[in-house]
Structure 1
Amino acid sequence: MNWTQLKQISLQEITAWAETQSWCLAMTECAQDAEWHSEGDVWTHTKMVLDQLFELEEWSLLSNHEQVVLIFTALFHDVAKPLTTEVDSETGRVRSPKHAVKGEHVARKVLRELECDLATREEIARLVRYHGRPAFLLEREEPTHEVIRLSWLVNNKLLYLFALADTRGRDTDSMSRPEENLYFWKMMAQESNCYTQPFSFQNDQARFLFFQQQKPNLHYVPHEDYSCTVTLMVGLPGSGKDTWLARNRNNLPVISLDVIRYELDVDPADNQGQVAQLARERCREFLRQGTSFAFNATNTMKLTRNRWVDLFADYKAKIDMVYLEPEFDQILRQNKSRSNAVPESVIHRLAEKIEPPTWMECHKLMLCGGFEN
Structure 2
Amino acid sequence: MNDITIRALCPAGAGDDYDWAACCEAFPRLHALEITPQSPRYHAEGNVGIHTRMVLDALLGCDHFQAARGAQRETLFLAALLHDLCKPETTVIDPVTGDIGQPGHSRRGAVDVRALLWRAGVPFELREAVCRIIAVHQVPFFAFDSRRGESPEFIARRLSWSLHLPDLMCVARADMRGRLCADQQARLDDLALFEQLAREDGCWGTPRVAASAHTRLMYARGAAVHLDTPLFQAPGSQVTVLCGLPASGKDSWVARHASDVEVVSFDDAKAELGLKHGENDGLAAHRAVDKAKALLRRREPFVWNATHLSEQMRGKTLDLLYAYDAQVRLVYLEVPSDTLFRRNARRDTTLRQQDLARMLHRWEVPLPWEAHEVSYQVASGRPGD
Instruction: Give the alignment's TM-score, normalised by structure 1.
Output: 0.93
Encode CA deviations 1:280-321: one digit per residue, 9 max, x unaligned: 221122222222111111111221111211221122111111
Amino acid at match of 1:314: A
2-side partners of 1:351 and 1:315: how far apart? 31
2:5: which partner in 1? Answer: 5
1:368: which partner in 2? Answer: 377
1:301: which partner in 2? Answer: 310
2:109: which partner in 1? Answer: 103
Which of 15, 22, 30 lines up with 2:20 in the alignment? 15
1:54 aligns with 2:60: yes
1-side partners of 2:200 and 2:30: how far apart? 39
1:261: which partner in 2? Answer: 270
1:34 aligns with 2:40: yes
SS of the counterpart of 1:366? Answer: strand
Q: CA offset at residue 62 of structure 1?
A: 2.1
Contact 2:215/2:225 (CA < 8 Å) preserved in 1? no
Contact 2:177/2:184 (CA < 8 Å) preserved in 1? no
1:164 aligns with 2:169: no
Contact 1:160/1:185 (CA < 8 Å) preserved in 2? no
1-side partners of 2:264 and 2:367: how far apart? 22
2-side partners of 1:300 and 1:341: how far apart? 18
Equivalences for residues 123-162 of structure 1 within 5 A: 123-140=129-146, 141=149, 142-162=151-171
Gap change, CA 1:341 and 1:92, over 3 Å in 2 = closer
2-side partners of 1:364 and 1:116: how far apart? 25
Q: CA offset at residue 18 of structure 1?
A: 2.1
Which of 198, 204, 208 lines up with 2:207 in the alignment? 198
SS of the counterpart of 1:290? Answer: coil
2:219: which partner in 1? Answer: 210
2:14: which partner in 1? Answer: none
Equivalences for residues 330-369 of structure 1 within 5 A: 330-369=339-378
| Ranges in structure 1 where 5+ consecutive residues have no aligned partner | none
Encode CA deviations 1:105-137: one digit per residue, 9 max, x unaligned: 221122122211122211111111111111111
Which of 305, 325, 329 lines up with 1:316 in the alignment? 325
CA-based RMSD of the aligned residues comes to 2.1
| Ranges in structure 2 where 5+ consecutive residues have no aligned partner | 12-16
Q: CA offset at residue 36 of structure 1?
A: 2.0
1-side partners of 2:183 and 2:374: how far apart? 43
SS of the counterpart of 1:223? Answer: coil
2-side partners of 1:114 and 1:336: how far apart? 20
Which of 93, 97, 107 lines up with 1:91 in the alignment? 97
2-side partners of 1:371 and 1:165: how far apart? 34
SS of the counterpart of 2:143? Answer: helix
1-side partners of 2:10 and 2:370: how far apart? 38
1:81 aligns with 2:78: no
Amino acid at match of 2:214: Q
Gap change, CA 1:49 and 1:105, over 3 Å in 2 = same
Gap change, CA 1:100 and 1:9, over 3 Å in 2 = closer
Contact 1:231/1:322 (CA < 8 Å) preserved in 2? yes
Encode CA deviations 1:6-44: one digit per residue, 9 max, x unaligned: 323554565222223431110011122223222221111
SS of the counterpart of 2:97? Answer: coil
SS of the counterpart of 1:267? Answer: coil
1:44 aligns with 2:50: yes
Q: CA offset at residue 174 of structure 1?
A: 5.1
2-side partners of 1:348 and 1:192: how far apart? 42
2-side partners of 1:30 and 1:130: how far apart? 21
Gap change, CA 1:89 and 1:9, over 3 Å in 2 = closer
SS of the counterpart of 2:242? Answer: strand
SS of the counterpart of 1:38? Answer: coil
Amino acid at match of 1:320: R
Amino acid at match of 1:147: A
Contact 1:244/1:371 (CA < 8 Å) preserved in 2? no
Identity %: 28
2-side partners of 1:56 and 1:304: how far apart? 38
Contact 2:40/2:46 (CA < 8 Å) preserved in 1? yes
SS of the counterpart of 2:56? Answer: helix
SS of the counterpart of 2:355? Answer: helix
Contact 1:100/1:128 (CA < 8 Å) preserved in 2? yes
2-side partners of 1:205 and 1:178: how far apart? 35
1:221 aligns with 2:230: yes
2-side partners of 1:151 and 1:6: how far apart? 27
Q: CA offset at residue 214 of structure 1?
A: 5.3
Contact 1:335/1:341 (CA < 8 Å) preserved in 2? no
Amino acid at match of 1:16: A
SS of the counterpart of 2:211? Answer: coil
